[in-house]
Amino acid sequence: MNESDLCPSGEPVTGVSKTPAALLQSILVVDDDEDIRRLNSEVLAHYGYQVDTAADGAIAWELLKVRTFDLLITDHHMSKISGVELLQKLHVAQIALPVIMITGFHPGHEFARRPWLQTSGLLPKPYTIADLLDVVGEVLRTGKSSSERMALPPEPSRAPLSDRSS
C-alpha cells in the first residue's frame, strides 16, 4: 500500500481509484459540523475532485446562485437553511443538480410531503470514507440530478442519532 491508497487521516481506502474524470468534477460540501465538512472535503480532494465548502445552507445557497457544481453533498439538519430547504430552493430556481444528502435521521416525512424534492443519493450516518466515495462515484457516473428523482431507500428503523451527527 502506498501513500495514494490512504485518505488524509491515514485510513486505508480500498476499491476506489483516482480517475482523470474526477479532476474535472466540482463538488460543494455543506455541513455545519466543521470536522465532518473538513474530512469530507479533504477525502474528496485527495481523490481528485474540486471541492468547495459551506458551513450552512444559507452560504451554500449563495454559492449555488453564482457558481456551477457537478454535485451537491449536504447535511440535512443545519442552522439557517436545512438540507431539505436547500433542495426546495434548487427546485424553485430550476437548478438541476445531483444532490447527496447526508443525515443521521432520514427526512422521509419531508419527502412524502414534497415528492419532487427527492435526492440522487442518501448517505446515512454513520458512514465510512469508502461509503462516501462509493455514493459520490455512483451519482456522478449515472449523472442523476435532483430533477431525475432517484428513489430513496426505506426509512431506517433505528432511532435518530445525537445532534452532533445530524
pLDDT in tens, the chain (166 residues): 334 434 444 444 444 445 555 557 999 999 999 999 999 999 999 999 999 999 999 999 999 999 999 999 999 888 889 888 999 999 899 999 999 998 876 656 665 676 667 788 888 889 999 999 999 999 999 875 433 333 333 333 333 333 434 4
Please enumerate in sequence order all residues whose Cβ is within 8 A of that of 51, keeping only pairs 6 or more positions apart, or say none: 26, 27, 28, 29, 41, 44, 45
Q: pTM, whole model, 2 decimals?
A: 0.73
Model pLDDT, residue 114: 64
Model pLDDT, residue 160: 38
Q: Which three cell numbers stand for residue 76?
A: 440535512
Model pLDDT, residue 9: 47
Model pLDDT, residue 84: 86
Model pLDDT, residue 6: 40
Model pLDDT, residue 154: 35
Model pLDDT, residue 116: 66
Model pLDDT, residue 162: 38
Peptide bond into 8 cis (omega under 30): no
Domains of the chain: 20-152 (3.40.50.2300)
* The residue to which cell 470514507 is assigned: 129
Q: How many CA atoms does the CB half-sphere of 102 hold within 13 Å?
A: 27
